[in-house]
Amino acid sequence: MSSAAEERLRRQSARNGWLLSMPALALLAVAAIGPLAIIVIYSFLTPGQYGNVVWEFSWDGWVSILFTRDIFDGTLGLADAHLTIFWRSVKLSILTTLVAFGLGFPTAWFIATRPAQQRAMWLFLITIPFWTNLLIRTFAIMEVIRAEGVLNTALMWSGIIERPLAIIYTDVAVLIGMAYVYLPLMVLPLFAAIDRFDMRLLEAGYDLYASRWQVLRRVILPIVKPGIVAGSILVFVPSLGAYVTPRVLGGGKNMMIGNFIELQFLAGRNWPLGAALSVTLLVIVTAALLVYVRAANRGSNPHG
């Protein structure tokens, strides 16, 4: 076959591939890119008096993320409440990731070191929480940590405390709830990484007189790093945009970004600010994913 014929077949194959992918691309444009474009456009418009938007260009939505305008003289001042919500969201997301790692790593190590015929059962138990709705799981945690819940009842019965601990409707309650909800997302990637770990490296480390801490820090963690990064991203990203858990366990007082966005679109009736906050959250999540990709590539390239 001549080179011209081969080139013609290659172009025809590429054209057929694009034609076959057109329905999926159209669906992606309508279902994903379209709504995102609407949110971006709304963030640059003027808020309506009773919600919705007025089709007049304005930077107020973006300016209002960090600043508030005085109702009397129109001067700008730092939006302390907004910054507090952002800080609480990032702080609780990071703490949730750390708690999930602290609980998930020993759990994943335990499962990966069980006999092969038992691992499926342990993984099955880890995935059971995903069988129920997120709201149901959140209410289950509320029943554990509320004033008359299981935790306080057990502590008072054992004589450790005399009065119930005020956990519910605090940042601690939100942290506990999110750590419980997203813990399986940390365990599963860690298990996948540890399951491929060559246990002979542990023996080699001990033969070289390394302590357990040195083996953990210099042998185990660097090798399972891709699983740690993947699990951290899988926990951090949904934690940052969490809505149900902070709403139920925080009682509406301890807002996170997701609750703040909902407030602007409903009670606040400031759609441009809600849209700007949504885009800001998307940018933060995208930055976190880029960090994950970069760290994963560095972990897979020993010379990087």
Q: What is the pTM of this model?
A: 0.83
3-state secondary structure of 69: strand
With pLDDT > 90 as the criterion, what percentage of the chain qualifies? 25
pLDDT in the model for residue 304: 44
Q: Which of 68, 29, 70, 63 is nearest to 44 (CA)?
A: 63
Burial class (CB in 10 A: 0-12, 13-18, 19+), 51: middle
DSSP E strands in the chain: the ranges are 45-47, 53-57, 67-69, 76-78
Contact 81, 160 (CB under 8 A): no
- Tell me: the pLDDT tens digits for 70-121? 777 777 788 888 889 999 999 999 999 999 999 999 999 999 988 888 888 9
Residues 6+ apart with CB under 8 A from 232: 97, 101, 186, 292
Contact 260, 85 (CB under 8 A): yes
Rounded to whole angstroms, the Cα distance separating 70 from 76 reads 6
Lowest mean pLDDT among 34-43, 178-187, 239-248, 285-294: 285-294
Tokens, residue 74: 């129109």
User: Sorting pLDDT into bands at 50, 70 and 90, what band is 293?
Assistant: confident
Neighbours of 290 (CB within 10 A): 10
Domain 80-300 class?
A: mainly alpha
Q: How far is CA 82 from CA 65, 239, 257, 272, in A?
A: 7, 18, 9, 15
- Tell me: the pLDDT tens digits for 166-206? 888 889 999 999 999 999 999 999 999 998 888 888 888 88
Helix axes 150-157, 134-145, angle to 10 degrees: 20
